[in-house]
Amino acid sequence: MNFPCPNKITCPGTDDPYANLSSEAPDLLTFYRIKIVPYDPPLRQFWKSSTCFGDAVSYVSQEDADEQAKFVADLCQPAGPGTPPNDIGGDGGGGGDDNNPVEDPIFYNTAQTCVFTCADGSPFAYSINPGNFSAPSQQGANAKAHTYACYKGAAQRVCLGALPPTACVGTAYSQTISVSPPSETSWVVLSGTLPPGLTLASNVLSGTPTTVGTYAFTLRATDARGSYMTKTYTIKVLEILEPAELTDGVEGDAYLYELTGDSQGIPVIWRVSEGSLPPGPVLDAAPGELYGTATTAGVFNFKICMSTL
C-alpha cells in the first residue's frame, strides 16, 4: 500500500528544509606515524637473542647478539646422553645385512671446558656438560662443545680487580673492587677473615682498621646471569709506633725525626695520609725520615701511614 510523503517542513528562520551543521572549515585528514626502535636495555644490562642453547647475549648491540645467535645455530645438533654403539641397528657382529643395514655412528661430546685469563692472571672457566653436541666422530663432537664453551665463556666471564695490600691502624680505608665487564653483582665472603674494622658492602671494602696483622679472605662475585668469580685477597694492617706528638722543632733550625712502625716484616714506604707537614721539612718515603729546616712557627697536625713498595 502506498502512502503519500509528508509535506516538507523548513527549519525556523530559513527557506530550506535542512540546517547546515558542518564546521566552517572542511575536515582535514591527519596521518600519524609510529616509529618502532630496537630494544635498548637498561644501564649495565645486555641485549639477547634466543638460541637452541639459551640466550646469546651482547653488551654491544642487538645486532651483535643476533650475529652470535646465528653462530650458535650452526652448532645445534640433536643430542642425548651417552655415546651410541658404532653398530647401530646391526646384527651384533658388526657386518649387518640387506634387511638390517649398519648406520653411520653418532658420537656425543664429553665434558669440555674453555678457560679465560683475567688481567691479574686469575682463570675464568666455562664448561659444557657431556651429551650436548653430536658428530660422526668423537673429535668432532668435542670440538663443537669446546667451541661453544669458549663462545659462552667470552660472553659471560667475570673478572675482579685488585685491592691495595696494606692498610694502617686508625686510618680510614675505602676501596672499590672493579668488575669486568661492568655488571650488577652480589658479593659474599666465602672464607677467611676481613681485617677488624672493615666491612664489605657490595664491591666496596671500607672502614677503619683496628688491629695489626695479616688477613686473607676469599670473595665471590655473582652477576645477574649466575656467572661468578672467586678471588683471594691479602691485606696487611700496619701500625706506626710513634707518640701523638713528635719532637718540637725550632724555626730556622734543621729538623730530623726517624719514624718507626710495625711493618709486619715487609719493605714499606711512608706517606702523609691527612693534613700537611710544617713548611720546610719533608718526608723521605723509604727510610721514614722527617727532615729539613722549619721556616714557619705554629702547630701543624698531620697523619702518616705506611704502605708497601
pLDDT score recorded for residue 244: 64
Beta bridge partners of 168: 238
| Peptide bond before residue 278 is cis, with ω within 30 degrees of 0 | no
Distance, in Å, from the CA atom of 22 to the CA atom of 289, rounded to the nearest integer, reads 97
Tens digits of pLDDT across the chain (309 residues): 455 555 555 555 555 554 444 445 555 555 554 544 444 555 445 677 777 666 776 665 677 677 767 766 666 655 444 433 333 233 333 344 555 555 667 888 899 999 999 988 889 998 988 888 888 889 988 998 898 889 888 888 899 999 988 888 888 899 999 999 888 899 999 999 999 999 999 999 999 999 988 999 999 999 988 889 999 999 988 877 666 678 888 888 889 888 887 776 777 788 887 888 899 999 888 888 889 998 998 888 888 877 765
Write down the pLDDT at residue 50.
76
Three-class SS state of 33: coil
**pLDDT score recorded for residue 32:** 53
37-41 contact pairs (CB < 8 A, 24+)? 38/62
Q: pLDDT tens digit string along 196-254?
A: 999 999 999 999 999 988 999 999 999 988 889 999 999 988 877 666 678 888 888 88
- What's the pLDDT at 243? 63
Question: What pLDDT shows up at residue 257?
Answer: 87
Of 23, 55, 6, residue with least CA distance to 225: 55
Domains of the chain (ranges, CATH numbers): 47-85+103-156 (no CATH), 160-240 (2.60.40.10), 254-308 (no CATH)
Listing DSSP states for 131-171 in one string gives TS-EESSHHHHHHHHHHHHHHHHHHH--EE----SEEETTS
What is the 8-class DSSP label of residue 72?
H
pLDDT for the residue numbered 93: 35
Q: Which helix (H) or strand (E) holds 62?
A: helix 62-73
274: which strand partners? Answer: 303
Question: Which three cell numbers mark 71?
Answer: 653462530
Residues 6+ apart with CB under 8 A from 57: 46, 47, 48, 65, 68, 155, 156, 225
Looking at residue 161, its pLDDT comes to 94
Could you give the angle at the alpha carbon of 95 between the alpha carbons of 91 and 99, nearest 5°? 60
